[in-house]
Amino acid sequence: MPELPEVETTRRGIDAVATGHTLTGMVVHESRMRWPIPKALPDLIKGQTVRACLRRGKYILIEFDTGTVLIHLGMSGSLRSVMQGELLRKHDHVEWLFKHATLRLHDPRRFGSVLWHPREQGPIEQHPLLAKLGIEPFDPAFNAKYLHDGLAGRSMSIKQALLAGDIVVGAGNIYASESLFRARIHPKTKASRVSLARCTRLALAIRETLTDALESGGSTLRDYVNATGEPGAYFTLHAAVYEREGQPCRVCATPIKRIVQGQRATYFCPSCQKV
């Protein structure tokens, strides 16, 4: 479920609930995630005040005085504040308790992770999982030249280069397809052969696609984060191509195609998008 817009919406939700407040406890119901949740973590952060809730790529960073909790939602994770007395659901793996609120991590597939980075190990940006991430799409430095330079010398397809996340983060499997449609670039185009002019369109398309999703996701996810018990509110995504195989392109009515690249589905319009 979580692409960058949903992660950012989640971050805003927990920021409003947690920042400036003291953690009264952390309960781990299931520690077997992508990596085991450190056993010592609850004792390390209990009683500390949350200084900030940040985001890097699809990682949520909860900062304390002695270090940072890194949270990734994987494919099926969600993190929300629950009502007082709300029953624990299956796959609710972790709870962070505050005097006035409880945050719960729910993740059926357990591809997500909860890790600890002690302050003495250096700045969080140098954490191995964050160090090689590409630029944030809303960083002013992310422009056509940056993208073009990043793609230079890479033989893989543009779709896979976007998905790799080491040039620019944020365009996951849905929005990589959607952004390429918006930029009218064929997903199989060799990354190194995307011209500077097309990089201008693509950088813009990525930002616009994510902005649109964030705006619609922000409204639907507001009650997701503050859920009153109703689980699983989704994005009201108005996809141009994603999961629209065989349906008419919204621009030219040509049937949308589905292909597989790197074991992931890609959708595109064979008429609008050129190699």
Q: Report the distance separating Cα 78 and Cα 232, nearest Å.
A: 9
Q: Report the distance separating Cα 180 and Cα 165, nearest Å.
A: 15
| Sole binder of DNA in the list 21, 234, 238, 254 (CB under 7 A) | 234
Cα distances (Å, whole numbers) of residue 176 to 107, 120, 157, 173, 269: 24, 37, 12, 5, 14
| Sole binder of DNA in the list 46, 51, 56, 91 (CB under 7 A) | 91
Under the criterion CB under 7 A, does residue 233 sit at the interface with DNA?
no
Three-class DSSP category at 70: strand
User: Which residue lies nearer to DNA by CB, 50 or 113?
Assistant: 113
User: Which residue lies nearer to DNA by CB, 58 or 148?
Assistant: 58
Examine the residue annotation and report whether 2 is marked as an active-site residue of this protein.
Answer: yes
Using an 8 Å Cβ cutoff, are 270 and 185 in contact?
no
Under the criterion CB under 7 A, does residue 135 sit at the interface with DNA?
no
Using an 8 Å Cβ cutoff, are 175 and 266 in contact?
no
Under the criterion CB under 7 A, does residue 264 sit at the interface with DNA?
yes
Using an 8 Å Cβ cutoff, are 81 and 53 in contact?
no
Under the criterion CB under 7 A, does residue 215 sit at the interface with DNA?
no
28: which strand partners?
A: 94
Examine the residue annotation and report whether 58 is marked as an active-site residue of this protein.
Answer: yes
Active-site residue, selected from the candidate residues 6, 11, 55, 58: 58
Using an 8 Å Cβ cutoff, are 78 and 106 in contact?
yes
User: Which residue lies nearer to DNA by CB, 151 or 272?
Assistant: 151
User: Which residue lies nearer to DNA by CB, 44 or 259?
Assistant: 259
Using an 8 Å Cβ cutoff, are 176 and 214 in contact?
no
Three-class DSSP category at 71: strand
Examine the residue annotation and report whether 3 is marked as an active-site residue of this protein.
Answer: yes
Site for DNA in 17-76 (CB under 7 A): 32, 34, 57-58, 72, 74-76
Active-site residue, selected from the candidate residues 46, 56, 207, 264: 264
Minimum Å gap between C-beta 263 and DNA is: 6
Specify the amino acid at residue 255. Answer: P
Taking CB under 7 A as the rule, which mask of x and - marks residues 237-256 in contact with DNA?
x-------------------
Q: Report the distance separating Cα 184 and Cα 201, nearest Å.
A: 8
User: Which residue lies nearer to DNA by CB, 51 or 91?
Assistant: 91
Catalytic residues: 2-3, 58, 264
By CB under 7 A, name the binding residues for DNA: 1-3, 6, 32, 34, 57-58, 72, 74-76, 90-91, 108-111, 129, 153-156, 160, 163, 165, 169, 172-174, 191, 234-235, 237, 262-265
